[in-house]
Amino acid sequence: MDEALPTVCYNHPDRPTRIMCRRCGKPICGECMVPAAVGFQCPSCVSGGLKETRQYQARFGGKQSTNARITSIVIIAINAVVWGIIQIAGPWRNTIIEFLGLSPVGMCQDSTGTMYYPGVGHALCDGVAGAVWIPGVADGAWWQVFTSIFTHVSFLHIAANCLTLWFLGPPLEAILGRVRFVVTYLVSGIIGSLAVYWLSGMNTISYGGSGSLFGLMGALIVIFLKLKVDVRQILMWLGLNIVITFVGGASISWQAHLGGLVGGALLACIWALTPRGKTRQQWDWVAVLSVVVIAGFVGRTMLLL
């Protein structure tokens, strides 16, 4: 009951408060509140925490970022540069999109992109008047697994993804540290590419950072559950994006979203559930996950060739 809860700051008895230290549960006023990665701590717990761990160490073993926004800013800048190059070249039909976007298999098509030549390989395509060859992952364009994560065409697409990254990225980096955050973002996106490679149509080109963003949402849910933080807000955000995924039409890659969500959740389990202080085990599990992902790409390629 409310009457049983402390109502004054433990350090300033004359100041009413309803805010509790995230670590020990003591009531703290505005002056005593010390921002933490999640919630607030009292000065005593902050002092004790610094004695137990090194000051620069993040919650799950990573190095604490001095500015948790920097990485998200860099990723947004990369997306913006690629988007700008595409706009200069001509956004809807140009070889840059076809080179950077993810195509499961190579395709021969006319220069307008309106007609395909099924069954025509690279060598034959070069001999067809007015035809161009679009490279695919199965026939050697492995870079697309990575570059497609940073490729956007429409302004609405890149704006929505960058805004989502701006809200989700810094809180997650504050908890994980920069290196683990970058690994979570990139590997989630690559697992999203793997899902596209297995589940999407062959004559398609997929691009966008949504797989990585769904990975951040999956990671935040797992980590918030571990830290016993209310997950309702992030679940609402995830639910909204799932609805958009399935009502937005064929232009939205549900495959990348699903793969990214699963990838981010798996990585968060590695960061959050590995026993404290066993950071080497975290990277061992990341290596195992990487081998499984690589095997998934190799296996799919063998089926397509």
pLDDT tens, 13-65?
A: 888 887 888 778 888 887 787 766 566 788 877 766 545 445 556 788 878 88
Round the CA-based radius of gyration of the chain to a whole number and report it.
23
User: What does DSSP assign to residue 110?
Assistant: E
% residues pLDDT > 90 (the chain): 50
**Look-up of token digits 């009502």:** 247
d(CA 122, CA 140): 12
The average pLDDT across 230-237 equals 88
The average pLDDT across 216-234 equals 92
**Neighbour count for residue 3 (Cβ, 10 Å):** 5
With beta carbons less than 8 A apart as the criterion, state whether 64 and 177 touch: yes
Please report, for the chain, how many H helices and E strands are present, in that order. 11, 4
d(CA 268, CA 219): 5
Residue 210, pLDDT score = 94
The average pLDDT across 241-267 equals 87
Structure tokens at 210: 């949504």
DSSP of 188-235: HHHHHHHHHHHHS-TT--B--SHHHHHHHHHHHHHHHHHTT---HHHH
pLDDT tens, 58-100?
A: 788 878 888 999 999 999 999 999 999 999 887 555 678 888 9
Residue 1, pLDDT score = 38
Q: Mean pLDDT, the chain, as a whole number?
A: 86
Residue 38, pLDDT score = 61
**Neighbour count for residue 100 (Cβ, 10 Å):** 21
Residue 2, pLDDT score = 40
The average pLDDT across 271-275 equals 92
Angle, CA 264 vertex, CA 229 and CA 305 arms, to 5° = 165
Residue 26, pLDDT score = 84
**Superfamily of 70-92+140-304 according to CATH:** Rhomboid-like (1.20.1540.10)
Q: How far apart are the first and last CA of the chain?
A: 66
pLDDT tens, 186-209?
A: 999 999 999 999 998 887 889 999
pLDDT above 50 (res 231)? yes
Residue 53, pLDDT score = 47
pLDDT above 90 (res 177)? yes
Residue 50, pLDDT score = 47
The average pLDDT across 249-276 equals 91
d(CA 177, CA 65): 5
The average pLDDT across 130-140 equals 86
With beta carbons less than 8 A apart as the criterion, state whether 289 and 264 touch: no
% residues pLDDT > 70 (the chain): 89
Distances (CA, A) of 4 to 9, 15, 112: 15, 17, 73
Question: What dihedral angle (degrees, nearest 10) is formed by the CA atoms of 98, 102, 103, 104?
Answer: 160
Of 101-105, 128-132, 172-176, 227-231, the range with the lowest mean pLDDT is 128-132
The amino acid at 294: I
